């Protein structure tokens, strides 16, 4: 009987050690996740917004949700080598961290002066670009939400470039009051 009791204790001890060893990394991961909420964030274009881009012949659409700028490409913009994009903002009222851009594509900041942020997105051919998700998300703080995607140029593999038609998607969002 004593031998059976010892076996049970060893089994319980082993189970408790395994639980403890799993719980520590899980707790560390959950703590890290709580400190980095952007890790699981993604922005998806709604069907209504996608249809509005097509109806208005827009190659690129953007929206400001709270303190996030989301930029989307239309599926007709393909064969991309790289893309440059200019964002105009009021530097007295808007600030953001250009090192914290959530994007599907590699990017490089070309300039950020006097309220004009110029970004280049690279390596479209090396990625499986998902047109239903945003090209990039940029979090900003603001007193006045005046932020505008003013110019976008697509540089194609054919050696040509194309100025993209840009439109705001903010007016196409449904609010809770519309339901």
CATH number for the domain including 80?
2.60.40.680
Do residues 22 and 90 share a domain? no
Examine the domain organization and report whether 29 and 66 are in the same domain.
Answer: no
Residue-level pLDDT at 30: 74
Beta strands at 116-122 and 80-89: parallel, antiparallel or unpaired: antiparallel
Taken in order 8, 9, 12, 13, the sign of the CA dihedral is: negative
Same domain, 87 and 166: yes
Instruction: Please indicate, yes or no, whether residues 16 and 60 belong to a single structural domain of this protein.
Output: no
Residue 118 within any structural domain of the chain: yes
For residue 167, being part of any structural domain is answered with: yes
Q: Which of 140, 130, 151, 168 is nearest to 83 (CA)?
A: 151
Do 96 and 12 fall into the same domain? Answer: no
Whole-number Å distance between alpha carbons of 115 and 91: 5
Strand partners for 148: 88
Domain presence at residue 178: no
Predicted confidence at residue 145, as pLDDT, reads: 62
Check residue 32 and give its pLDDT: 65
Instruction: State residue 117's pLDDT score.
Output: 93
Please indicate, yes or no, whether residues 102 and 133 belong to a single structural domain of this protein: yes
Q: Clarify whether residues 92 and 161 are in a common domain.
A: yes
Tens of pLDDT, residue by residue, the chain (179 residues) = 567 777 787 888 888 888 878 888 877 777 766 665 555 555 677 878 888 888 999 999 998 877 788 899 998 888 888 999 999 988 888 888 888 888 888 999 999 998 999 999 998 876 778 888 889 988 888 765 678 898 999 999 888 999 999 998 887 544 333 32
In a domain, 164, yes or no: yes
> What is the structure's pLDDT at 21?
81
Range of the domain at 109: 47-172
pLDDT the model gives residue 177: 35
The answer to whether residue 41 is domain-embedded is no
Q: Are residues 141 and 88 in the same domain?
A: yes
| pLDDT at residue 36, rounded to an integer | 56
- Specify the number of domains making up the chain: 2
């Amino acid at each position: 009987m004593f031998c059976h009791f010892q076996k049970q204790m060893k089994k319980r001890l082993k189970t408790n050690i395994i639980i403890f060893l799993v719980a520590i990394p899980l707790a560390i991961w959950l703590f890290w996740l709580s400190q980095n909420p952007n890790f699981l964030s993604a922005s998806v274009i709604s069907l209504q917004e996608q249809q509005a881009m097509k109806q208005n012949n827009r190659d690129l659409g953007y929206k400001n949700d709270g303190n996030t700028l989301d930029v989307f490409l239309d599926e007709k913009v393909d064969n991309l080598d790289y893309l440059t994009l200019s964002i105009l903002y009021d530097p007295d009222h808007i600030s953001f961290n250009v090192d914290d851009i959530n994007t599907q594509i590699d990017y490089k900041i070309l300039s950020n002066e006097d309220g004009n942020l110029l970004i280049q997105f690279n390596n479209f051919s090396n990625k499986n670009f998902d047109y239903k998700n945003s090209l990039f998300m940029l979090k900003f703080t603001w007193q006045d939400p005046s932020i505008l995607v003013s110019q976008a140029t697509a540089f194609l593999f054919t050696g040509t470039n194309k100025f993209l038609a840009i439109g705001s998607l903010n007016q196409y969002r449904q609010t809770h009051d519309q339901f």
